[in-house]
Amino acid sequence: MRLRVILWLIVLALAGGSAALAQEGTALREITDVEFVAWVTGPESPSQTDVRYDVDGTDLGSMFALDDTLYIAFGDTFGCCRPAGGGAGGENWRNNVLAYTTDTELEDGITFDGMITDAEGRARAVLRRWRDDVTVIPTYGVAIGDRLALHYMAVKEWGPPGEWTLNRSGWAYSDDGGQTWEQPFDAIWEGDTNFGQAALVLQEDYLYVFGIHGGRFAGVALARVPAESFLEMDAYRYWDGTDWVEGHENAAVIASAPVGELSVAWNAYLQRWIMTYLDEVRRAIVLREAPELTGPWSKPMIMVSADDYPSLYGAYLHPWASDGEVIYFNMSQWGPYNVRLMRARLVASD
C-alpha cells in the first residue's frame, strides 16, 4: 500500500499535481465556497437516526429518486455504542440500510421521512449476504419505471486501507417502494470485475454504468444496457474507446486511476457531465467534467481535502441539486463514521 501511494505521488508530481484552476478546453474554472451543511446520519443529524432508527454510525449515502421520493442507500451500519477511537463498529451490525425522504429544502440538511425498518422500528438490511460474503454494500441506485434498482458489491476480503476484493457485484430490485428486494442469482458480474462498484445514469432509454474494481485504485470503465433489460447480463455492451462491444474485459478506461466511490450527473450550469469521487492518493474528493458520458474526462480538480476533513471518502451527488452553479453531495468520514451533506459552488470558465 505504502509503495503504491509513493508511486502515485511521483506520477502526480510529474503531471504537475492537482488542478486548481481551469484546464484548457474545460468549462469549469474553479470550485469555491465548499461548506459543511449538516450531518445526514448519526446523533447530530436532523433525523436523529441514532434514537429513531438505531443508526449511530454508517457511511456512503448514494442517492436516487423515484418521482417525489429520494432514496439514500448506506453501507455497513451500527447501533450504539460506537468505538471510542471512531471508525466502524458497535452493536446491531447491518450490512446496509435504506432511507427515504421528500425533503427538498437542503439549506438546513436532509430530514428523513423514514427508513426501511423491522418490527421494532430499527433500520434493517435490505440486501442479504450470500455464503462467503463478508458484507454486501449498495454502491448506487436508480429508478426504472416504478421499479427501484440497487447495484451492490459483495465483499470477499478487506485488504490494506483502500483495497478489497469482491466475490461478485450485481443487481437487486424492489417493486414495493424498497420494502422487499430480490437479488437474482444470474444478474451479477462474477468475481472482482471493473464493474464491482458503480455510478448510474439513466439517459435516453439506456442505463449507463460507470464501474471500478473493488477498492479505490482503479480507473473507470463504462457499460450501457437498455434500461428495461438491466437484469439481463448478456444485454450489456461495453465502451472500448470507439464502440459498444460485448465482454466487460474489453471495456476501456475512460477516467484514469485512482478512483474510489464515484457519482456522475449532468450539470446544466456547465453544460457538462460531472464526476465526483475519492482520490485516495491526493487525499481528496475530486471533480472531473466531460461533454459526453464517454468523455473525454478532464483531469481531476480537488473539491474537498482531507486536510480539512480527515479520513473523508464517498462523494455522492444529490440528484435534485447537482445541475446548478451550487451543488450538494453526501460525503463520509471514517473517524465519526457518519455521512455529511456538503455543498460547493462551481465557477465556470470565462
Which CATH number characterizes residue 341's domain? 2.115.10.20
Predicted confidence at residue 223, as pLDDT, reads 99
Domain-embedded: residue 85? yes
- Longest Cα separation, the chain: 57
- Based on the structure, what is the number of domains in the chain? 1
Query: Percentages helix, strand, coil for the chain, rounded to the nearest 5?
Result: 10, 45, 45
Domain-embedded: residue 321? yes
Predicted confidence at residue 286, as pLDDT, reads 98
Q: What are phi and psi of 204, to 5 degrees?
A: 50, 55
Predicted confidence at residue 12, as pLDDT, reads 46
Domain-embedded: residue 148? yes
Kindly state the cell numbers that stand for 98: 435504506
pTM of the model: 0.94
CA-to-CA dists, residue 120 to 56, 111, 123, 127, 294, angstroms: 16, 21, 9, 19, 46
Domain-embedded: residue 275? yes
81 residue type, one letter = C
Scan for cell 451533506, then name that residue.
341
- The span from the first CA to the last CA of the chain, in angstroms, equals 41
Predicted confidence at residue 13, as pLDDT, reads 42
Domain-embedded: residue 77? yes
- Cβ(275)–Cβ(245) below 8 Å: no
Q: What is the domain range of residue 49?
A: 23-348
Taking the chain (350 residues) in runs of 10, the rounded mean pLDDT of each run is 47 41 81 98 98 98 98 98 87 98 98 98 97 97 98 98 97 98 98 98 98 98 98 98 98 98 98 98 98 98 98 97 98 97 96
Query: E strands along 44-177, which residues?
Result: 60-66, 69-74, 77-79, 91-94, 97-101, 114-115, 135-144, 147-158, 164-174
Predicted confidence at residue 81, as pLDDT, reads 87
Predicted confidence at residue 24, as pLDDT, reads 66
Domain-embedded: residue 55? yes
Domain-embedded: residue 18? no
Predicted confidence at residue 86, as pLDDT, reads 83
Predicted confidence at residue 350, as pLDDT, reads 85
Predicted confidence at residue 21, as pLDDT, reads 52
Domain-embedded: residue 4? no
Predicted confidence at residue 84, as pLDDT, reads 81
